[in-house]
Structure 1
Amino acid sequence: MEPAEAAAVADLDWEDWSGEGNFVHHMLAGSIAGVTEHTVMFPVDTLKTHIQCMRECPERQAGSRVLEMVRGQGMLRLWRGVGTMFVGCVPAHAAYFSILELCKERFGANGGGHAPVAAAAAGVFATVFHDAVMTPMDVIKQRLQLGYYRGIGDCVRTIARAEGVGALYRSFPTTLFMNIPYGAIMVAANESLKTALRPRGDHTTATYMLAGCGAGAVAAAATTPLDVVKTMLQTQAIHAHATRYAAAAAAPHVAAPAAAAAPIFAGTALASSGLLRRACAAPAGATVALMPAVFHSNAAARCIQGCGEKPEVKLQYRGFVDAAREIRAVQGWSGLFRGVVPRLMVHAPSVAISWTTYETAKRWLQDT
């Protein structure tokens, strides 16, 4: 990035807003766009999260996983965790679109014609502010999508007790590493496609939809491996405890009624693995161990013997490079592209919905 551009961002003064339209209008339109986008596409994002976290044959299991969740808990199961989007999207998208518009103006992306470098630079700055707000919400969202915890509050309290508050930002460097190129590619492609479709600048709803769809597809495909690594980093503690449960279930030293686990783990990756079904089908008198309530209870983060000590959480990956290396070693190069189809299905229409809603809301607010 040119020094002049960096200096321009350092000197941002919101009171001297000179971008297109009203600053408050950009914030409101961005908030509406974010909530609309994530709510509509949330079921597909839930499917993508499950596929990326599956250990074996994710593509074959994807359809049956969705059907199992819907049959067991209804259609609303696909929207489990959507509340995080309402909490996080409003401030995150308000910051994203307002900063994006300001940077586009300062960097010269609104001067007419193709300006992909200026548009990409604006996308980078907007992405950093967006991700600082959304990363903790994304961690909570993905764990709720997998079926763990009773809700947002339970998830936050349990993570804080068992893993520390820092766990909410464990994937932040990876998220930035993924979303900075995604944001740069997406904004540059979106601006260029709009210009190519309507060189005179007389954009229509169809223009926003087509440009957004193309930009979202290109950016999503290019950053899928980074998204896989991010998802595994954000959910690895769950897999660590699932492994503990599997080991404890085979040991006779802790007795607990297996049936009690069924409602807690219904619809989770653990239940779908078959482990819970086998435990619940154990003959009368057999002893099995419940996974520590670390995922589900406000009184969690105690060892299974009830001694009050926190269970040790041994994370599988040390960081981005270690996670990427292990995923490739165990699953091959294709493992880094798990979920690419649902990711495209999420991001192509998501960007189209988001930008179309944003531009429509912005125009409506400016006309009122």
Structure 2
Amino acid sequence: MGGGGEDEYESLPTHSVAVHLSAGALAGAVEHCVMFPFDSVKTRMQSLCPCPETKCPTPVHSLASIIKREGWLRPLRGVNAVAAGSMPAHALYFTVYEKMKGFLTNNSVGHANTLAYGASGVVATLVHDAIMNPAEVVKQRMQMAFSPYGSSLECARCVLNREGIGAFYRSYTTSLAMNVPFQAIHFMGYEFWQHILNPEHKYDPKSHLIAGGLAGGLAAAITTPMDCVKTVLNTQQTAETTAENANRRIFLHSNSSSYYKGITDAVRMIYTQRGMAGFSCGLQARVIFQVPATALSWSVYELFKFMLSMEESQK
């Protein structure tokens, strides 16, 4: 893109809520859907339910194992649930981030604003997770080996009927405990690399791609232990479901002593079954998922923010 277009980018009306909502929704769909098969691998590796993928040497081998045993489409089960949740969640996520960042920095840029970027990411996460958590529960139960659900809607209905609405938010505090530091590191990292690679903060696809990938990969690696806890909480099910699906060999918890009510129970069970190594399960798959996903998310967001803002400026 020529210099004139880049200069215009700095003066575009990017404060528009409609622009942030639209660009954020598109970015969310891309982030969660493009690399979804590796997210399925990560979920299986982190869950305490036994499945062959836990014995595979790499995430690529795990993905090949799923496809070989269950078909090409199996790694995509649950993608419709996450797509439906990610669009409104990310629309508000990016909008809240942009508004908070503008408020805390007075619309200035630079290293001096690092903490403001992190704080803005934290506030955006609170909104994002409140919307996204139910979709995560459905998605992860659909991703499990021998999952009994025929569709995401069936899964959501069964969870609601058997376990109540609380099942959709059982991992909410865990998600926040993971996503608050994740998003703080993510946004601070993105803005840091933008300042290095794109100090004038013009529209620059290459810098958005690289900065997003580096920031997302680092944040994913650091917060993997809490992601393991979240997965264990999301994928547990009830004794009633166990009886109904015994012929499918689904590993489910059938008594109160093995029912994880919160972070402490899940941490204890992970350590009991897998030791400290249990808290790094799925790290490779998570980073493989997050680096391109975050890179694409920021690239799509910045692209559509640029395009939509250009449209507004011409009206």
- The structure-2 alpha-carbon separation of the partners of 1:112 and 1:215, relative to structure 1 and needing over 3 Å to count, comes to same
Of residues 42, 53, 70 in structure 1, which corresponds to 2:67?
Answer: 70
Q: Distance in 1 between matches of 2:263 and 2:229?
A: 7
Matched, 1:342 2:285: yes
Q: Distance in 1 between matches of 2:256 and 2:270?
A: 20
Partner of 1:51: 45
Contact 1:19–1:101 under 8 Å retained in 2? no
Output the aligned Cα RMSD: 2.6
Q: Distance in 2 between matches of 1:357 and 1:131?
A: 21
- The structure-2 alpha-carbon separation of the partners of 1:199 and 1:143, relative to structure 1 and needing over 3 Å to count, comes to same
Contact 2:125–2:183 under 8 Å retained in 1? yes
Q: Distance in 1 between matches of 2:55 and 2:70?
A: 22
Q: Distance in 2 between matches of 1:170 and 1:148?
A: 21
- The structure-2 alpha-carbon separation of the partners of 1:38 and 1:329, relative to structure 1 and needing over 3 Å to count, comes to same
Partner of 2:309: 366
Q: TM-score, normalised by structure 1?
A: 0.73
The structure in which a higher percent of residues are helix is 2
Matched, 1:130 2:132: no
1:102 is paired with a residue of what secondary structure? helix
Matched, 1:177 2:171: no
2:149 is paired with a residue of what secondary structure? coil
Partner of 1:296: none
Contact 1:109–1:118 under 8 Å retained in 2? no
Partner of 2:56: 60
Q: Distance in 1 between matches of 2:121 and 2:177?
A: 14
Q: State the Cα distance separating 1:144 from its structure 2 match.
A: 0.6
- Largest Rg, 1 or 2: 1
Q: TM-score, normalised by structure 2?
A: 0.85
Q: State the Cα distance separating 1:163 from its structure 2 match.
A: 1.1
Q: Distance in 2 between matches of 1:245 and 1:170?
A: 23
Q: Distance in 2 between matches of 1:187 and 1:241?
A: 42
Contact 1:49–1:231 under 8 Å retained in 2? yes
Contact 1:127–1:179 under 8 Å retained in 2? yes
Contact 2:37–2:63 under 8 Å retained in 1? no
Q: State the Cα distance separating 1:69 from its structure 2 match.
A: 3.2
Paired amino acid for 1:156: A
2:260 is paired with a residue of what secondary structure? coil
Contact 2:38–2:63 under 8 Å retained in 1? no
- The structure-2 alpha-carbon separation of the partners of 1:327 and 1:201, relative to structure 1 and needing over 3 Å to count, comes to same
Q: Distance in 2 between matches of 1:58 and 1:69?
A: 11
Partner of 2:217: 217
Partner of 1:25: 19
Paired amino acid for 2:103: R
Matched, 1:38 2:32: yes
Worse-superposed segment, 21-30 or 193-202: 193-202
Contact 1:27–1:94 under 8 Å retained in 2? yes
Contact 2:15–2:99 under 8 Å retained in 1? no
Q: Distance in 2 between matches of 1:138 and 1:55?
A: 17
Q: State the Cα distance separating 1:316 from its structure 2 match.
A: 2.6
Q: Distance in 2 between matches of 1:243 and 1:357?
A: 42
1:217-366 → structure 2 map (5 Å cutoff): 217-237=217-237, 261=247, 265=248, 270=249, 315-366=258-309
1:123-162 → structure 2 map (5 Å cutoff): 123-146=121-144, 147-162=147-162
Q: Distance in 2 between matches of 1:127 and 1:210?
A: 22
Paired amino acid for 2:211: A
| 5+ long unaligned stretches in structure 1 | 1-17, 250-260, 274-290, 292-310
Matched, 1:88 2:31: no
Worse-superposed segment, 312-321 or 333-342: 312-321
Paired amino acid for 1:86: A
Q: Distance in 2 between matches of 1:331 and 1:347?
A: 24
CA deviation map 1:36-60 (0-9, x unaligned): 1111010110111111125678242
- The structure-2 alpha-carbon separation of the partners of 1:44 and 1:150, relative to structure 1 and needing over 3 Å to count, comes to same
Q: Distance in 2 between matches of 1:158 and 1:175?
A: 22
Q: Distance in 2 between matches of 1:361 and 1:75?
A: 32
Q: Distance in 1 between matches of 2:84 and 2:256?
A: 28
- The structure-2 alpha-carbon separation of the partners of 1:59 and 1:204, relative to structure 1 and needing over 3 Å to count, comes to farther
Q: Distance in 1 between matches of 2:256 and 2:13?
A: 48
| 5+ long unaligned stretches in structure 2 | 1-11
